[in-house]
Amino acid sequence: MVYKFAHLSDCHIGAWRDTTLKEMNIKAFEMVFDRCMEEKVDFIIIAGDFFESNMPDLESVQRATEKLRQVKDAGITTYIIYGSHDYSATKLSMIHILESAGLFRKVMEPQTLDNNRITLTVFTDIKTGAKITGMSGRALSLEKTYFEMLDHESFAELDGFKIFVFHSAINELRPKDLAHATSMPLSLLPPGFSYYAGGHVHSRSENKYGNGLIVYPGCIFGTDARDLEHTARKEKRGFYIVEFDTQVKKLKFIEMSPCEIISKTIDADKKTASQVQSALDQYASGIAANGKVILIRLQGTLSAGKPSDIDTNPAKELLKKNGSITVNISKFGLATQEVTKIAVMGETKEQIEEKLFKQRLAAFKLDPSIKDLKVRSFVSKLLIGDGGTTLAKDLVSVLRDDQKDNESKVIFEERIVGDALAKLKVDELE
């Protein structure tokens, strides 16, 4: 008998400050789950980052809970792992709370073996007999340590159709735009599984691995302007439906889009601020904007004038008047001849931050007065090399977190301090 399941990842429910994009994101998730019910899949796998944070805003949680309940009532079981966004090392996360309510099944349950290695509990789907296990993602890519401890032999006796769910980039499979992102070698994946349900990477890919497949569905909508720009350049967003018996029989990608996205880069090289202003206004007046998300990036080195001389408001107002559901015009890529030589190069704010962190950390040296070898080893591991850059980015992310609805100032401060301490891993020194 042939069964089928849905594989999706990186919903990031609760992402976006822009209320329109936030709505499009949650709408994309609802469309995916509605399609799963229409297709009458036997079960659903979510490979991490279901929520944007471990405790997302309650309105987003309510919308997600309603759809999870509909799917459960339709007789479809949802299996999930944590992603790096919705995982918390210090307190309960919303994933844990919704699992306690019976809305889905978290499939990562590690067990320590006598040889200090770990194995994972394997769950058997009652309806199909498929065997499912997995490894959650963690902040700072700490899941790599768990992968290195994973006892591959403990899975050798599994029979039937086997699914391994994970939330990590793979060195050999990562896309070019993630060439410098943290990832792990392919050899750390346990061999012998029929299907490897990947998450974390926001672009789609299908790859052979032994007798099985490693599949990344990508994000269902996206969490930043770069994701949306990729969508505008025909990067398909959606999820997979997989038909199987003892092996994969058919792999079908279902494209889902809650809105049309248009992206435009206006080249400012060797142009004056006035010329760029004219190009922007001309583009805005000539585009059919109704019902679309419009992204415009101004990029290059101005021959005269400053980025602040370019007024984006007339273009925004015109596009919104013509029916655009939201407009984003970025001037971050602009520079002037006077400041170009001291600019930190990078396409996005995140890339610029990362380069600044690397420059400062490259000069870091341990204080010679620290004699404790355990402390020296701990600090070196935490701050030197890529680990230091990752830590800096994660701490900035913690400090950027907003106070949540109905959260007192005291609780908010305690949460931020707790999250920062978790990133610093100070408990390892105890």
- Please list the active-site residues: 85
In contact, 117 and 151? CB cutoff 8 Å = yes
What does the block give as tokens for 163?
């699914």
